[in-house]
Structure 1
Amino acid sequence: MLKKACRRGIGGFAFGVLIGQIISIFISVSLGNGEFIPVVPEFRALFSDEIGAVIAQTLLTGVIGTVFAVTSLVFEIEKWGSLKQYIVHFFITSTFWVPIVYLCWMPQDAKGILICFISFLVTYAITWFVQYRVTKDDIRKINEVIRTENNEKEQE
């Protein structure tokens, strides 16, 4: 399990950094007037130089990716029901995602943290719903195969 967590963590870190860079590109396209904005001005103001802010943001987006990748292991704990798995996953990921995203990209006020949390909640709910439907469909297909096999055995 530790080896799997390390592998997922490394891959998750790289994926988180990639997503962070894509977000920087989107921010630059929407706010940069043709210039690349590696970090938003509010985040940049927390550091003595821009490179420090860029490194910190890169590490923080890597942390988000690592957390999501490693906490996905809770879905492999067979003795837990899916509700418990999702609750644990939600609380762990939101504990990291909300403050990091708020710090790196959101307006530094109560409205910013509210928007950040609501966006996480909505995104998580949509993801859960899609995953629920996929799992429900998988279960239906498995049950169909079992019924077919049982009918074939009965006919023999």
Structure 2
Amino acid sequence: MKSLISRIVGGFIIGMMIGQIVQIIISFKLGQREYMPVVDHFRSFFVSETAAVIVQILLTGIIGVTFATSSLVFEKAKWSLLKQYIVHFCITALVWIPIATLLWMPNTSMSTLIFFISFLSTYVVTWVIQYMISKNDIKKINAAIRSNQLEERDDE
């Protein structure tokens, strides 16, 4: 329980920090040398800029919590690695894509599609890298087991 709470709190804080960094990057691109606390289309949903900033901070915190807690699926030993990644992808995509689209992307079908393809591509690359690392780790473990078994036979 303590681990889950620390994941939630840590994820929320990290999500908020990354959200602010993203907003600074967007400000450099769109802000004409001025800091934009929120993008204009997101600001338009609120009666004040302060309310928009508060909601943006909460939403980026939710993204952080999602990534921090969804990694728990990788602790399901009975699930295959593929199933773990599919479940993790679905959870993170269902939260990340709508929130990030709402906060930072232009409101068009094409921009949402491009954003989804970008997320999917990044996820696939990450999965391939993790798969290769896991495969290498398994080879090392199997080699250590075989080596241990040979030593035990020699001792007999």
| TM-score (norm: length of structure 2) | 0.93
Measured in 1, the distance between the counterparts of 2:107 and 2:33 equals: 25
Structure-to-structure mapping, 1:48-63, within 5 angstroms: 48-63=47-62
Report the 3-state secondary structure (helix = DSSP H, G, I; strand = E; otherwise coil) of the residue aligned with 1:48.
Answer: coil
Query: Which residue of structure 2 aligns with residue 103 of structure 1?
Result: 102
Q: Which runs of 5+ in 1 are unaligned?
A: none
Query: Which residue of structure 2 aligns with residue 4 of structure 1?
Result: 3
Query: Which residue of structure 2 aligns with residue 66 of structure 1?
Result: 65
Measured in 2, the distance between the counterparts of 1:119 and 1:6 equals: 31
Query: Which residue of structure 2 aligns with residue 142 of structure 1?
Result: 141
Measured in 2, the distance between the counterparts of 1:63 and 1:84 equals: 24
Aligned length: 155
Could you say what the CA RMSD is over the residues aligned between the two structures, in angstroms? 1.3
Query: Which residue of structure 2 aligns with residue 32 of structure 1?
Result: 31
Decide whether the 8 Å contact of 1:101 with 1:116 is kept in 2: no
Measured in 2, the distance between the counterparts of 1:9 and 1:125 equals: 25
Deviation at 1:5, TM superposition (A): 2.4
Measured in 2, the distance between the counterparts of 1:79 and 1:127 equals: 22
Measured in 1, the distance between the counterparts of 2:117 and 2:62 equals: 21
Query: Which residue of structure 2 aligns with residue 75 of structure 1?
Result: 74
Return the letter of the residue paired with 1:69.
Answer: A
Deviation at 1:76, TM superposition (A): 0.4
- Percent identity over paired residues: 52
Q: Which runs of 5+ in 2 are unaligned?
A: none
* Deviant stretches of 4+, over 6 Å: none
